[in-house]
Amino acid sequence: MSARSEQAGVDRGLDDRRWTVAEQVAAATRRRFPADVLAVAVHGPLAHGDDDGGGDREVGMLVVTYRPGTGPAPATRRVDGVLVDLTVAAADDYLGQARVLSPLWPLTADRYVTTRALHDPTGWLPTLRDEHLGRLARARPAEFSTAARQAWYRGSAAHARAARLAEWYETDQALLMLGEARLAAATVTGLLSRTYFRDPGDAVRRTGLAGADMTEVGLVLARQAEELTARGRPVDGTVDELLTG
């Protein structure tokens, strides 16, 4: 057997183990909270059907309950070597979240749009997807611009902080802040183009910001500031504008 075939077998085994753990979590949740659980699903790579078997890929799971404060507690924990990130939310609350167009929308939309049911007898998960897509269809361009402007402020502040830390030779901290600036700039791009991403790594990769240095990120932020100005409101304003929103 070739090395590639052996690795493919290992990856399939890890992928199968992720599904096994996800199914065990779903079964245990339904068994322990039979009157509370409306739906159980996975999101992320497993939901997309292209999990690469990488050892660092967590299993993102969603437990939807009929009422707030019921079901298991949200948790993140390794189970049989697989990292599980368990989100628990009441149905109405989660639908409400799916209708919000926030500055982090490019990083959160995928979990509303792409889920894979492990338990959904009433067909609630398609409703979640439709609610989110319906909200996007109703969104005005100004809403995306407003959210992008908020994301830009975070990116600009992180970039300025990174530059100052670099001047002070605080290299590790500067790199952390530069990473935050890259991600914020990527979300600005996503908001301005109405594009959502699967995760932060996907965001910086698809926007060409993965590995971008201080100067390159600064140029991206400058171009984004120009585009936001062209959309009707500059990133810099007056005290009166601050107080009136």
Residue 59: phi and psi, rounded to 5, are -100, 110
Check if the beta carbon of residue 118 is closer than 8 Å to that of residue 24. Answer: no
Look up the pTM and report it. Answer: 0.89
Q: For position 51, what pLDDT does the model report?
A: 55
Taking the alpha carbons at both ends of the chain, their separation in whole angstroms is: 65
Residue 114 CB: number of other CB atoms within 10 A? 17
Q: For position 241, what pLDDT does the model report?
A: 82
User: Which residue, chain included where needed, has tokens 């995306």?
Assistant: 144
**Mean pLDDT, contiguous 10-residue spans, the chain (245 residues):** 34 70 98 98 90 66 98 96 96 97 97 97 98 97 96 98 97 98 98 96 97 98 97 91 81
Q: For position 39, what pLDDT does the model report?
A: 98
CA distance 144 to 102: 8
H helix and E strand count, the chain: 10, 5
